A and B are shown apart, each in its own frame.
Chain A
């Protein structure tokens, strides 16, 4: 197996993000192709320079990436569709990264896009009997993990609500977010119960949307100042015995692994990049429901199990804190177009590392980490540096 450290450097040179919301009058390929155009313009590149495209989506049917690329130009480039549930965008980015790093291609586009079905996520990452038993309700699955997490750590409903309040506050500064209005603790704790203990405002809203990134080798960089280096891009698709209820996987009681899926993905990313959690100064975490941002921070090694809620309370994860998390409002504000989410996180990291985040700009953001996980199961971690 080749060590990514021994391969050539890869840069993200262009990003494109459509405003996330509901596009009743547009097809997915409409706003998907728009993200590609925006990313190319940002990269000061033309589509003819692109060697390949990896397109993440979940619910768009056969060849959805091709539908988007058709609107940009069938120039003979290979298009590969990537369905990896909530990690589809992150997985598309990883494939693009590996193709450039390994010198197969010089310029590759990673696209994530989704036009979401309305209502709760109709996840099919389950066996037929689990579907028929009502176990594919992802809020319920996160609720069960939350019950156990709260029991183990003493995290309270107020702690959970505090994540929502923080993220919606950040989202109010993000013109691309679906929700740009802050919420109060009272509003979160008074919102309707979906699956105890998770209320509506503990759960990310869905949205349609797309995000794209142009990756290239150093010699193709137009602007050294705007290129953001991919320090690591890893994917771990499950570790036996580490429960992931949104994928129908329970903990093994007899053989629980020492290192779980999310922990392993973080360890690999730190090893490849040479950075540790102490070097990271901005995080895009995975707040599909707010408790998963808290335990995510713990699993990524930013603090010990059970400590994240206290650090959040003390302001560490706020925009002005020592380690801002979900600076664009996260899934809670952006919304969650499954296939686009991972690349939406990347777009925010690149914007921050370039110093172009405006009112939500984090001071001295040099090394950023994004984490997307979910059904499959998958855990993808990307580390970027300027």
Chain B
């Protein structure tokens, strides 16, 4: 019997779907049926804060985008909220659906992250929690 307590858990629920038949995980977002604005993460209330109506529907977002900016953080954030490795890279990723998001950047070499280039979605462990479970999150990595 497998030990469920050791199954990986997600850092956030409802941010991506494991649509394996479609070729891997996809981020989920909200799109306004009226003004077309796209949001990540999805907005469960369905309220479009841009055009001020209940007009949002949940949509899958692409798994590829462009890295608009990136930085490598050399010092742990304060407050005790972050349990991942330091240094770590994060950046702004623009998806072709028309939404920018903040994401950690997965890279074997943090000094070699290319801003402006194409990136693709991956689901990766960020840290191991006190019960020994891997906690996973979405990240983007440079396309080979």
A binding-site residues for B, Cβ under 8 Å: 117, 119-124, 128-137, 139-140, 143-145, 147-148, 151, 192-198, 240-241, 243, 245, 248, 250-255
Top-7 shortest CB links A-B: A122-B79, A131-B81, A122-B78, A143-B71, A147-B69, A137-B77, A129-B12
| Cα A248 to Cα B100 with chains together (Å) | 12
Cβ–Cβ contact B102 & A130, under 8 A: yes
Mask, B81-95, CB within 8 Å of A = 1, is 111100010111010
Chain A interface mostly helix, strand, loop or mixed?
loop
Q: Which of B18-26, B33-41, B54-62 contacts A (4 or more CB under 8 A)?
A: B33-41
B90 touches A148 (CB 8 A): no
* B69 and A195 contact, CB distance less than 8 A: no
- Given A143-B71, A147-B70, A148-B69, A131-B79 contact (CB < 8 Å): yes
Q: Please, how many residues of chain B have a CB less than 8 angstroms from a CB on the other chain? A: 40
A295 to B101, CA, bound (A): 22
Q: Are B37 and A254 in contact (CB under 8 A)?
A: yes
Chain B residues within an 8 Å CB radius of A139: 73, 75
A144 touches B50 (CB 8 A): no
Q: Cβ of B117 < 8 Å from any Cβ of A?
A: no
> Closest CB of chain B to A148's CB: distance in Å?
5
A135 touches B78 (CB 8 A): no
In the complex, what distance in Å separates the CA atom of A134 from the CA atom of B74?
Answer: 12
Within 8 Å by CB of B81, from A132, A144, A241, lies A132
What residues on B are CB-neighbors of A131 within 8 Å? 79, 81-82
Interface centre among A120, A145, A198, A254 (most CB of B within 10 A): A254
Q: Known contacts being A137-B77, A195-B74, is A132 close to B15, with CB within 8 Å?
A: no
Chain B 28-52: CB-based contact to A (< 8 A → 1; otherwise 0): 0000000111100100000001100
Contacts of A128 on B, CB cut-off 8 Å?
81
- Check B79 against A195 for contact (C-beta < 8 Å): no
B123 proximity list for chain A (CB < 8 A):
none
A135 to B49, CA, bound (A): 22
- A209 CA to B115 CA in the complex, in Å? 39
Q: What's the Cα separation between A175 and B24 when bound, in Å? A: 60
Q: Does the CB pair A137–B41 fall under 8 Å?
A: no
Are B92 and A250 touching (Cβ within 8 A)? Answer: yes
B50 pairs with A241, CB closer than 8 A = yes
Selected contact of B101 from candidates A134, A140, A192, A250, CB within 8 Å: A250
B122 CB–A CB distance under 8 Å: no
B63 in the interface, Cβ–Cβ < 8 Å?
no
Are B81 and A137 neighbours in the complex by a CB distance under 8 Å?
no
> Could you tell me if B90 and A147 are in contact, using CB atoms closer than 8 angstroms?
no
Instruction: Kindly state whether residue B142 has any CB partner on chain A within 8 Å.
Output: no
Q: Which residue of B lies closest to A142 (CB)?
A: B71
- Chain B residues with CB under 8 Å of A143's CB are 71
A241–B36 CA distance with the chains assembled, in angstroms:
13
* A residues less than 8 Å from B68 (CB atoms): 148
- Tell me the nearest residue of chain B to A198, going by C-beta: B71
Across-interface contacts of B81 in A (CB, < 8 A) = 128, 131-132, 136
**Alpha-carbon separation in the docked complex, A132 to B10 (Å):** 11
Q: Which residue of A lies closest to B93 (CB)?
A: A250
Given the known interface contacts A136-B81, A144-B91, the answer about A253 and B70 at a Cβ–Cβ threshold of 8 Å is no
Of the candidates A144, A145, A194, A252, which one forms a contact with B75 in the assembled complex, judged by CB atoms under 8 Å apart? A194
Contact between B15 and A195 (Cβ–Cβ < 8 Å)?
A: no
Task: Judge whether B8 is part of the interface by a CB distance below 8 angstroms.
Answer: no
